[in-house]
Chains A and B, each alone.
Chain A
Amino acid sequence: MSAADLEHLAARLLAAHPPASTDRLDFLRAQYDAGLAWVGKPVGRGGLGLTVSDQVVVDAALRAAGAPDNDPAANSIGLGMAAPTLLRYGTPDQVDRFLPPLWTGEEIWCQLFSEPGAGSDLANVSTSATLDGDTWVVNGQKVWTSGAQNARFAILVARTDPSAFKHAGLTYFVCPMDDPGVDVRPLRQITGEAEFNEVFLTDVRIPDSLRIGAVGQGWEVATATLNNERVAIGGGGAPRESGMIGVVAQAWRSHPERRRPVLHDRLMRLWIDAEVARLAAERVRRRPAHVTPGPGDSAAKVTFARIAQQLTALEVELLGDDGMRYDDWTMRRPERVSFTGRGPGYRYLRAKGNSIEGGTSEVLLNLIAERVLGLPAEHRPDKGIPWNESAR
Chain B
Amino acid sequence: MERERTMTATAESTALAETVRRMLERVAPATSLVHEDGLDALLRRVDAALDDEIGLAGLLVPESQGGLGGELSDAATVATELGRACAPSRFVTATVLAGPLLADVGHAGPFGAACLVVPWGTAPGELLPRLVVVDGLVSGSVRSVAGVGDGPLVLPVTVDGETAVAIVSADAPGVGLAPVTSLDTTRPLTDVTLDGVAVQVLATGRRAVDALDAGLERAAVALAAEQVGLASWCLSTTVDHVQQRRQFGRLLGSFQALKHRLATLWIEVDSASVAAEAAATTTSDRAVLASAAQSMCSEVALHAAEECIQMLGGIGMTWEHPAHLYLKRALVDLNALGTPEQHRRRLATLVDLPPAG
Q: Which residues of A contact B (CB under 8 A)?
A: 2, 51, 241, 249, 252-253, 256, 259-261, 263-265, 267-269, 271-273, 275-277, 279-280, 283, 286, 296, 299, 302-303, 362, 364-370, 372-376, 378
Closest residue of chain B to A54 (Cβ to Cβ) is: B3
B242 at the A interface (CB under 8 A): yes
| A264-B259 contact, Cβ under 8 Å, with A272-B347, A283-B274, A299-B267 | no
A365 x B263 contact (CB < 8 A): yes
Closest residue of chain B to A299 (Cβ to Cβ) is: B267
Closest residue of chain B to A378 (Cβ to Cβ) is: B256
Residues of B within 8 Å of A259, CB to CB, are 354-357
Q: Is the interface of A mostly helix, strand, loop or mixed?
A: helix
B239 x A375 contact (CB < 8 A): yes
* Chain B window 317-348, contacts with chain A (Cβ cutoff 8 Å), 1 for yes, 0 for no: 00000000000000000000000010011011
Residues of B within 8 Å of A271, CB to CB, are 347, 351, 353
Top 6 nearest A-B pairs by Cβ distance?
A369-B259, A268-B344, A259-B356, A376-B254, A368-B263, A365-B263
B19 at the A interface (CB under 8 A): no
B242 x A375 contact (CB < 8 A): yes
| A373-B239 contact, Cβ under 8 Å, with A264-B348, A272-B347 | yes
B347 x A268 contact (CB < 8 A): yes
A269 x B267 contact (CB < 8 A): no
Closest residue of chain A to B236 (Cβ to Cβ) is: A373
| A374-B271 contact, Cβ under 8 Å, with A263-B356, A299-B266 | no
- Distance from B353 Cβ to chain A, minimum over Cβ atoms (Å): 6
B178 at the A interface (CB under 8 A): no
A265 to B356: give the CA distance in the assembly, Å.
10
* Chain B window 245-276, contacts with chain A (Cβ cutoff 8 Å), 1 for yes, 0 for no: 00000010110101110111011001100110
Q: How big is the B interface, by class?
A: 35 or more
- Distance from B296 Cβ to chain A, minimum over Cβ atoms (Å): 6
A267 to B3: give the CA distance in the assembly, Å.
35
| A366-B354 contact, Cβ under 8 Å, with A265-B341, A271-B347, A299-B270 | no
* Chain B window 271-306, contacts with chain A (Cβ cutoff 8 Å), 1 for yes, 0 for no: 100110010000000000000100110000000000
15 contacts between A and B (CB under 8 A): A256-B354, A259-B354, A259-B356, A264-B348, A268-B344, A269-B344, A272-B275, A273-B271, A279-B274, A280-B274, A299-B266, A365-B260, A375-B239, A375-B258, A376-B253
Interface contact tally, CB-CB below 8 A = 109
Best-buried of B243, B296, B353 by chain A (most CB within 10 Å): B353
Residues of B within 8 Å of A269, CB to CB, are 295, 344
Q: Which residues of B contact A (CB under 8 A)?
A: 1, 3, 6, 239, 242-243, 251, 253-254, 256, 258-260, 262-264, 266-267, 270-271, 274-275, 278, 292, 295-296, 341, 344-345, 347-348, 351-357
- Distance from B185 Cβ to chain A, minimum over Cβ atoms (Å): 30
- Distance from B239 Cβ to chain A, minimum over Cβ atoms (Å): 5
- Distance from B319 Cβ to chain A, minimum over Cβ atoms (Å): 28
A366 x B296 contact (CB < 8 A): no
- Distance from A286 Cβ to chain B, minimum over Cβ atoms (Å): 8
Best-buried of A256, A275, A296, A373 by chain B (most CB within 10 Å): A373
A277 to B270: give the CA distance in the assembly, Å.
10
| A265-B344 contact, Cβ under 8 Å, with A2-B1, A276-B271, A375-B262 | yes
Closest residue of chain B to A370 (Cβ to Cβ) is: B259
Residues of A within 8 Å of B3, CB to CB, are 51
B347 x A375 contact (CB < 8 A): no
| A264-B239 contact, Cβ under 8 Å, with A276-B296, A279-B275, A375-B254 | no
A280 to B293: give the CA distance in the assembly, Å.
13
A260 x B356 contact (CB < 8 A): yes
B296 x A264 contact (CB < 8 A): no
A249 to B1: give the CA distance in the assembly, Å.
37
Residues of B within 8 Å of A253, CB to CB, are 352-353
| A373-B262 contact, Cβ under 8 Å, with A265-B344, A272-B295, A299-B270 | yes
Residues of A within 8 Å of B254, CB to CB, are 375-376
Which residue in B253, B262, B355 is a CB contact (below 8 Å) of A264? B355
A375 x B259 contact (CB < 8 A): yes
A378 to B259: give the CA distance in the assembly, Å.
10
| A376-B264 contact, Cβ under 8 Å, with A280-B274, A365-B259, A366-B256 | no
- Distance from A269 Cβ to chain B, minimum over Cβ atoms (Å): 7
Closest residue of chain B to A241 (Cβ to Cβ) is: B351
A373 to B351: give the CA distance in the assembly, Å.
36
A267 x B263 contact (CB < 8 A): no
Residues of B within 8 Å of A369, CB to CB, are 253, 259-260, 262-263
- Distance from A3 Cβ to chain B, minimum over Cβ atoms (Å): 8
- Distance from A260 Cβ to chain B, minimum over Cβ atoms (Å): 5
- Distance from A271 Cβ to chain B, minimum over Cβ atoms (Å): 7
Residues of B within 8 Å of A249, CB to CB, are 351, 353
B292 x A261 contact (CB < 8 A): no
Q: A259-B355, A369-B262, A375-B259 are in contact. List 15 more A-B contacts (CB 8 A).
A: A51-B3, A241-B351, A252-B353, A261-B357, A263-B356, A264-B348, A271-B353, A272-B295, A272-B296, A272-B347, A299-B266, A303-B271, A362-B260, A368-B267, A375-B243
A362 to B348: give the CA distance in the assembly, Å.
33
A276 x B275 contact (CB < 8 A): yes
A268 x B275 contact (CB < 8 A): no
- Distance from A138 Cβ to chain B, minimum over Cβ atoms (Å): 35
- Distance from B264 Cβ to chain A, minimum over Cβ atoms (Å): 6
Which residue in A263, A365, A374 is a CB contact (below 8 Å) of B243? A374
Residues of A within 8 Å of B263, CB to CB, are 364-369, 372-373
Residues of A within 8 Å of B266, CB to CB, are 299, 368, 372-373
A375 x B253 contact (CB < 8 A): yes
A370 to B263: give the CA distance in the assembly, Å.
9
